[in-house]
Every structure is written in C-alpha cells, then in structure tokens.
A = this chain, B = another copy of it.
C-alpha cells in the first residue's frame, strides 16, 4: 500500500463505498507495508547516482550473471566486487562492455554516465604495494558512486617523506581513505595533517603476528589522532561507501 492507494481507501470510506470494518481489516497490515514504503523511498533517494552492487565472493559466475541481468533491467550501473579473473571473464562474455579492473578485482557494467554526487575529492592513500588491491577496490567503488577520486599509493610511514611530497592532494581532499597493513600507522600520521574525516581500512597484509589483519585493525582503533573511524579488514568497498555518503552534496 502506498500513498495513492491509502488516499483512495480513505476517499472510499468518505463516499461510503467502503465499510469502516473492512478498512480496519486492510489497515491491520499497514505498519509493515508502510514501513517498507518509507524505507524503500529513502533507499531510492539514497541510491540516486549509486550503482547496484554485487558482492562476488562465494557466488558462482552463473549466479552473478543471473543477478546482474535482473539488475540490468532497471537500467542502473552495476558494480561487482571480489571477482577473480575466471569469473570476470565469464561475466564479460555475458556483458561484453563491462570493464574489469584486475587489481581491484571488480567488474563494472555501465548503463549510463555516472552522475557526479560528490562535492569534493576522495583521496585514497595506501601504505605499501600489497595494500593496493584494497585501495583500488575503494577507488573504483568511490568513482562508480560519483566521486572524483585521487590515488596516493605506496607512501608508508617507514619512508614518510614520500607522503609529504603529495601535500597538495592531501590538504585539498574532502574525505580521505587510508588503507594500510602491518602496524597500521599511516591513518594516524595522515589524520594529524588534515582537518577532514579519515576512514581507515586495515588490510590483511603482513606475516607472523599480524593475525590476518586483526593487529592492524586494533592499532587503527587505538589511534592517538582524532578524526579517524575504521571499517572492517580489507573492506575497501565499505570505506568508499562511507566516504561517498560524507562527500554527497
């Protein structure tokens, strides 16, 4: 039931074309239908300019293609994350115009020009070369969501001068995503330099007592710098999603 059908129901009562008891009956399920209506509406406005997203891990190429086809019917752009090369090739056979980013492990199926929704630049920084896949997932996601994205890769704290070289990009960014593994110190350093929100993404890069990224995650949550919030390990997509919400007009 939506606004229109609700109005018609009330008018039917007014005209005497529907009994009060019958209306009562139909309104009993209203809370749930209405809630959905409200939420969906929110979601719709939220999604304006945002792609449909398929999380590819644990889905077969066949499943992904099936979902993508149904989405395609809505004429939305589609972003598929966490796909290996084999799946990506299979998807490209079904959607020949899809673009595959091998580093980010994403496939993007474009139905229309991406609408610019971000008011400033999203700067995606990462510490080492091994963090690039996560950073690139963030970059590709942020771009597909209508943001101007700049990349600043391989600028870890052990050679901190590399970071300072790009001071212009750092100082002019509206939101910053910082992906790092190992001791996860980079977000603290970056956040000490800027007055904008920093979203930290721990990566599972490291060995020994890295514990699959848990050490990095914990270190980031304990940052001595204010202005940092954290997403899950390797979650480049999630970081970009938060950044997009922040960067929206």
Contact = CB atoms under 8 A, between A and B. Distances in A.
The DSSP consensus for interface residues of chain A is helix
B43 A182 contact: no
A221 B229 contact: no
A205 to B, nearest CB: 8
Given A46-B195, A159-B192, A229-B229, A24 B36 contact: no
A76 interface: no
A150 interface: no
B213 A156 contact: no
Interface string A151-195: 000001111111011010001000000000111110011011111
Contact of A206 (B3, B222, B227): B222
Interface of A: 3, 6-7, 10-11, 13-14, 16, 20, 23-24, 27, 29-40, 42-43, 45-46, 57-58, 127-128, 130, 156-162, 164-165, 167, 171, 181-185, 188-189, 191-197, 199, 202, 204, 206-211, 213-235, 237-239, 241-242, 245-246
Given A157-B225, A185-B185, 20 more contacts: A31-B37, A32-B161, A35-B160, A42-B193, A57-B207, A158-B226, A160-B193, A181-B222, A199-B229, A206-B222, A207-B234, A208-B232, A208-B235, A210-B232, A215-B215, A216-B222, A219-B219, A226-B237, A229-B229, A229-B231
